[in-house]
Structure formats: C-alpha cells, structure tokens
Structure 1
Amino acid sequence: MKRASSTGSALLVLAVIQTAALHATSGTSAGQTPAAVRQIPNFEVDPSWPRIPEGWVLGQVASAAADEQDHIWVLQRPRSVRPGRGTGPPVMEFDEDGNYVQGWGGPGEGYDWPESEHGIHVDHEGYVWIGGQADEDQILKFTSDGTFVMQIGEGGHEKTNRDTENFWRPSDMFVYPPTNELYVSDGYGNKRIIVFDADTGEYKRMWGAFGNVPSDDPPAEGETGANRTLATEFDPADPGPPQFNTVHGVKVSNDGLVYAADRGGKRVQVFTTDGEYLAQAWIDRWCLVAGQGCGNGQTTASVAFSADPEQQFLYVASRSPARIWVLDRSTLEPLDSFGRPGIAPGEFGVLHHMTTDSSGNLYTSEVQDGRRVQKFVYTGLVDAPNE
C-alpha cells in the first residue's frame, strides 16, 4: 500500500434463489408475499447535460459517481481521444445543472495512475476512488481536489484470487458508510468481491459467486458471455456457473445488501455484507455473441438504486441490449425497461456504469461509440405497464 507523504421487450429470465433469506434481510418476513409494486419511476433524458467546456470532447466515458452535494464526477479516458482534438482531464466534476466545476488526474508522484481508467466512486466523506481495467493491480484514493491519499495494491506480482493485497483489473468500488468498508468488484482478471478498510487499506474478506471461494481456474464451458445456448434451452432451475465471469460493478444498499453485477454471467447476485449469498436475477439471458444480434453477448454492467430511503427500485444496466431494467428490489421482479442501441439522446452506445443522485436522477456512462455521460431526469412515479 502506498500513501501520500503527508500521511424494451425482449425476454428477461428471472431466477430468485433463497428468497426467504432475502426477504428476511430486506424487512419482509419469510413466507410473506411482498406487496405488488403498482407504480414505477419515470425518466426523461436531458440532452443538454452536461456542458462540456468549449473546445473539449470526451473520450470513452468509463464511469460516473454522485457525491453528497449531488455533483456528478465523470471518469473519462483522454488517451482514447483522436490526436489533435482537445479534451479534459480524466476526472471531471460537474454540478447538478451540468456546469463544469473542476478536473484533475493522471500520472503523479507517489502513485500509479491506471493505463485505462475504469471505475470512480465518491464516498460519504468526499474521498474520490479510482480504478483501471488495463492490466491494473491497484485502486487509488484522493481528496476532492485531487490530492493523493492512498494506494491499495501495486503491480509486479502473481495475479491470483488468493492475493489479499493486490487486484487484477478491478472494475468498480463502493464504500459502505456504516462500516467505512471499501467493496471492490475485482472483476476483469480475478473473479471476486473483496473488502478493505477504507481508512487503512487493511484487507477484511472476499468471496466469489454464490459465496464460493474465488477460483483461478479458467471459465468452464458455458460460463463465458460468448456461450451460444438458446434462451429456450436454459433450465430455469439451473442456478448457473459457480464462479463469476467479469464482475463489472458493485454497490451496497442502505439496508446492507451487496449487489454484484456479473456482466459476463448475465446476472445480478445479492449478498450480505459478510458475503452470504441470498439471491440472483438473470438479466437478458437470451443475449448471445456478436453476429447473433447482441453485441458481445454480455449484459449486467452496473446497478444503481432509487433515491427513496427504502431504495425500492433496483436499476440494472444491460450492456449489449442497450437498455436499463427497473426491478423491484425486494423481489428482483422486472417491472419495466427503457433504452435501445444508438447515439441519439436516450439511446446507448455501449452502456457501462451508472449512478443516481439524491433527487432520483439517473446518470449513465458510455464507452466506445457512445463516449458520453447522459442524465435521465426523474419525473415521478407512473403506473406500471400492464402485463
């Protein structure tokens, strides 16, 4: 560890495992049927948000995070901008109206800046966390003005899930305020959720899919996002592969449930903060590989929560189908979806990470063709569509 010198309409197949345990944890007694959700959140895209400073274009926008003041922090990849085009720094802060506030980031003394920026998170104390997805082995912690605080992990080691000091291409991170613990989806190279003390960087615990011990073995047949199994051939009772495949996102709800976005596995898995497996939901399991109508065949890129204290709704970004699912968080029942492939406002060109602010507005980031962050303004609850 290094420190600063100063110190749509396609099929969504749903499989909920151990629902009684999930309901008990979420405040619904086992055996009790949750009340039906009759209304769902409604959003309208704001095509004028954000206001990029004149002369700049964004590179691939890897991630976005909201802070306690509802400012949105964008992590972009300046090195993906064509030569001769102006761009801003990797970390860019915007206020809620989309005005540029400040920016910083890049190589500096005392830390290893990632070769390819990937995840950003602003915690409850205002610290900014950064990760990368090239061959990165570290996560960085900064103050809001870009002052380096701490690095967890560094390169030059054997890349293995057994390592409790380093990462292998970590994809996302989230600090849970009640315990001040950092949850990391270590994700492209390794196959685990790993937890650290957010102040000291001390290792706490880790787990893989279903709470299993993370494996270094290559994915078994059918585990990758490139599988060619038809949707009609999946056994609904089959819980799926015992290991994660590209754990691409992680967030912790107010009631202490950990949501892991298994992009290559096409599912969301839910755990306690100690790593006890509770439930999972398949997300667009029908989605197959390129050449068969569904991008790279991967789906669950990120999750976010509605802004109400109970966080009634779970939002799931589905990468290749280019849409966002709205789920009832207590049951993981799909309620609605919106979005489609494209580059017009409200469409998605390689949907990546997303976040919500305290007003319930939803912000999405896009890499590759999209190269932008979009704001979806929360306009209230509306009647759910009839089945």
Structure 2
Amino acid sequence: MDWMRKLVSTAALGAALVISGPAVADTLVEVDSEHVNEAVPMPTFAVDAGWPQLPENMILGQAPGLAVDKDDNIWVLNRPNSLGFSDIGADNGQSIACCNAPPHVLQFDQEGNLLRSWGGIDLAPGESTMEGEGRDAVEVGDEQWPANVHGLYVDDDLNVWIGGNGGGDHVVLNFTTDGEFIRQIGTRQQTEGNLSQQYLGNPADIHYDGESVLVADGYINKRIIEFGAEDLAFEHLWGAYGTEPGGGTRDGEFDQSQASSTGDGGANPESESFGDIVHCVTRGPDSTIYVCDRRNNRVQVFRETADGVEFVEDVVIAEETGGTRTASDVAFSPDGKYVYIADMMNGRVWILLREGHEIVGWFGRNGRYPGQFIWLHSVDVDSMGNVYTTEVSTGRRVQRFVMTGMSE
C-alpha cells in the first residue's frame, strides 16, 4: 500500500493553543506524520521546540528514562557520565562559557521549568572504589548507585524507581520525590540468571501499581519478574509467551555496540524466547501488561489473572528492521484508545488502536531537528494527550509533542 505522508496542518497548530495549555504558538513546529488507516481517526501532534526550559549552562546527556507523574509533571532520567569534556567545559575548567552536567533525575512542570534535580552515589547505600587503570580497572566495594542508569518510573506516591544496565548494575533502587533512599531490589555485582528469585541481571524498566512491582530484567537476563509491593518478596517470573524464561543470559557485560549488532541473526518476531534486550514493561488498561522485546521487533501483550499471567498476542513493529531494532517503549492515550510505541531504529512513534493493535499511523523521523529522533528511547503521555520522548546515544534530549487534534 502506498501511504501518503501528512504533515500537521496550520489549523491544527492553531488548535494546539486551545487544548494544550502551556504551548506557545511560535515554538510549535510541524512534524512528519502519516495516517495509515484513514477509516480510523488519528491523534495529530506538533513539537514544542521551546520545551523544556533548561537552566542556564545546563546541558542534557543521554536520557534513558521518562515518566509523567499523576500531577502531569515530567521526570527525565539523565546520564551525566555520557557527556564529554567539551560538553561540560564549565565543570572541568576547560571553558569560560558553557556547560555544566545535570544530576541524574530531573523533574519538569508543564511549562518545562525544572522543579527539582538529584542523583548520584551519595544517595544510595554502600561505597566502592576503582582499583587498577584503564580496561584493567575493577570496582571494589558495595556501592549500589548504578554505573549506568536505565529506566525510570514514578508511582502515585511520587516515589521514584531507577534501574541500571552498566557493569554490575543488577539493581532497582527506590527513592522519595526528593531523592531519599527507601529500598532496593537486587544487589549490584550479583546476578544468578533467569530463574533467580532474588537477584537481577541489568534491569531495563520498572512498573509499580501499589500491589506489585514488575521489572523488565532485560539486558543480561531475558525475563519479566514480579515482586510484592510491601515487602518486595518474589511473586512470579516469566519469559516469552508466559513460559519459563529461555534463551540463556548475555555472556559478559552489556556494551552499547551490542545494541546494534546483527550477530544474533536479526529479529525473530516468532522466537519462543525474549531477545537479548527486554526493554520495557508497562501496565495497560484491562489488566494488561505490555513487554518490549526490542531485538525481536515486537511487543508481547499479557493479561494478569488470578492464576498469574496469560499471553494475549504479539504486536510486531516493522518486522524487517535491523540495527537497533524497534519496540523500545510503550505508552497509552489518556482514554486508553490508542497505544504509542517508540521505534528506535526507524525514528518514529507508531500509533495503534489498543483494541486489536491495528496500526493507525505514525509521527517522527530520524534526524536532529525538532520532531526528529536519534536513538529514540522512551515515550510517555500526560493527561491532556501530549506525548513526551527521550533519546540516548548522540540524541541526548527530551521532546514534547503537543496534541493538536484528530485527523479524520
């Protein structure tokens, strides 16, 4: 089928001023989009090129986590360690101008103002030192702050959950709104494989609903694991199709080059096991759980039942895609009618009907200008239907897409 490319219209941009509140007309920019199934209305968007309002001299690093809280504030997980000496010359004395590295956790309001920021090893239990130099350096100690943060969730109590996929980062940490440590799942430097009920293997994502904690245990291990909300006691674990996790574990520590390797033979949307990056876990409407099997270009949908979880269906996204692959994150429209799936390699957000998961259209493309993506990583939605995204690798930004209306 030949799909017609459709850009957000001037009229839609005007509508954004009415329905989106804080958006400003002269910062809204058209985005590439396509309405695939014209029998179904599709949400339309324009990117707010003036969002967020970063403090003077602050520069973002890679942004591997994103969450919109119950008050419609936007939380971004940042990697200050991804910034080089020329990025943060003001920090290292190399520049008389800009810039400074931000902390790991940033909270913005709807206007894009920074409300709070915190992060770092001083907030987590334990202490470690590096012994040796270069590639021979070894971490010695029990420091629990991740070497490379990955995945962010903010629950209804405004407590923050963080994972990690760096060397030895087999832990999920839980903090208060202001960064006070509460508790943790797993222990850094300790992992025991897909069947462990105690230890993790580079967890990628977290979802907490007040009754249990779901973890996409997904860069070393290949599974979903569930813990009790109160005592974090083990409850359940599963792999692809709701069966016992298979496919083994990653051999050695993960590095970014493995995220785009074709050494696995390419995506296999029919694989009986999860691929080697189980990238997201998200609870959806009607007791559903969505799991991003990124390397296999699919989202697996499950339903929670009194007896555990049952597999519902595979949602395949751009099956033939290679490189960093697709299906990196999932979010839902406020009314639950639409599913948004972030596609890392193709640089777009797919829009699907939740009922039946038929593709309605998409927006975005690869590139560095507003409304475009480099290593699109995370997606979330606020109560007004505005969509937020973050990027890693050399993308290093968060973007706000203002919902402008519906394309008939």
Q: Report the TM-score, using the length of structure 2 for normalisation.
A: 0.77
Deviation at 1:230, TM superposition (A): 9.5
1:334 aligns to 2:370 (yes or no): no
Alignment correspondent of 1:306: 333
Which whole-Å deviations, capped at 9, do the CAs of 1:201-226 have from their partners, x for residues lacking one? 1111011011110125369xxxx972
Q: Is the 8 A contact 2:222 2:249 kept in 1?
A: no
Alignment correspondent of 2:67: 65
Q: Give the gaps of 5 or more residues in structure 2.
A: 4-37, 90-98, 127-143, 251-259
Deviation at 1:158, TM superposition (A): 4.1
Q: Is the 8 A contact 2:221 2:248 kept in 1?
A: no
Alignment of 1:41-56 (within 5 A): 41-56=43-58
Alignment of 1:104-123 (within 5 A): 104-108=118-122, 109-110=124-125, 112-123=144-155
Question: Structure 1 residues 165 and 336 mapped into 2: Cα distance closer, same or farther (>3 Å)?
Answer: same
Alignment correspondent of 1:126: 158
Q: Equivalents in 2 of 1:354, 1:230: separation in Å? A: 24
Q: Give the gaps of 5 or more residues in structure 1.
A: 1-7, 11-35, 289-295
Alignment correspondent of 2:230: 199
Q: Is the 8 A contact 1:249 1:353 kept in 2?
A: no
Deviation at 1:377, TM superposition (A): 0.8
Which whole-Å deviations, capped at 9, do the CAs of 1:290-310 have from their partners, x for residues lacking one? xxxxxx2411100000011xx
2:82 alignment partner, one of 72, 80, 83: 80
2:262 alignment partner, one of 199, 222, 226: 226
Q: Is the 8 A contact 2:191 2:201 kept in 1?
A: no
2:162 alignment partner AA = I
1:208 aligns to 2:210 (yes or no): no
1:316 aligns to 2:345 (yes or no): no
Alignment correspondent of 1:354: 379
Q: Equivalents in 1 of 2:365, 2:309: separation in Å? A: 34
1:214 alignment partner AA = P
Deviation at 1:353, TM superposition (A): 1.0
Q: Is the 8 A contact 2:349 2:363 kept in 1?
A: yes
Q: Equivalents in 2 of 1:228, 1:174: separation in Å? A: 28
The farther-off stretch of 155-164 and 356-365 is: 155-164
1:304 alignment partner AA = A
SS across alignment from 1:215: coil
Q: Equivalents in 1 of 2:378, 2:229: separation in Å? A: 22
RMSD between superposed Cα atoms in Å: 2.2
Alignment correspondent of 2:35: none
Identity over aligned pairs, percent: 38
Alignment correspondent of 1:343: 368
Question: Structure 1 residues 82 and 328 mapped into 2: Cα distance closer, same or farther (>3 Å)?
Answer: same
Q: Equivalents in 2 of 1:380, 1:227: separation in Å? A: 43
Q: Equivalents in 1 of 2:71, 2:290: separation in Å? A: 24
SS across alignment from 2:241: helix
Question: Structure 1 residues 228 and 129 mapped into 2: Cα distance closer, same or farther (>3 Å)?
Answer: closer
1:313 alignment partner AA = Y
1:187 alignment partner AA = G
1:134 alignment partner AA = G
Q: Equivalents in 2 of 1:113, 1:37: separation in Å? A: 49
Alignment of 1:174-185 (within 5 A): 174-177=207-210, 180-185=211-216
1:39 alignment partner AA = P
Q: Is the 8 A contact 2:40 2:360 kept in 1?
A: no
Q: Report the TM-score, using the length of structure 1 for normalisation.
A: 0.81
Question: Structure 1 residues 230 and 165 mapped into 2: Cα distance closer, same or farther (>3 Å)?
Answer: closer
1:170 alignment partner, one of 200, 203, 206: 203
2:209 alignment partner AA = Y
Question: Structure 1 residues 316 and 346 mapped into 2: Cα distance closer, same or farther (>3 Å)?
Answer: same
Q: Is the 8 A contact 1:53 1:100 kept in 2?
A: yes
Q: Is the 8 A contact 2:342 2:348 kept in 1?
A: yes
2:314 alignment partner, one of 275, 280, 303: 280
Deviation at 1:40, TM superposition (A): 1.3
Question: Structure 1 residues 147 and 316 mapped into 2: Cα distance closer, same or farther (>3 Å)?
Answer: same
Alignment correspondent of 2:110: 96
Question: Structure 1 residues 206 and 225 mapped into 2: Cα distance closer, same or farther (>3 Å)?
Answer: farther
Question: Structure 1 residues 51 and 119 mapped into 2: Cα distance closer, same or farther (>3 Å)?
Answer: same
Q: Is the 8 A contact 1:343 1:369 kept in 2?
A: no
Alignment correspondent of 1:154: 187
Report the structure, 1 or 2, having the larger helix content: 2
1:160 alignment partner AA = G
Alignment correspondent of 2:95: none
Q: Equivalents in 1 of 2:2, 2:375: separation in Å? A: 19
Q: Is the 8 A contact 1:207 1:214 kept in 2?
A: yes
Alignment correspondent of 2:13: none
1:332 alignment partner AA = H
Alignment correspondent of 1:243: 273
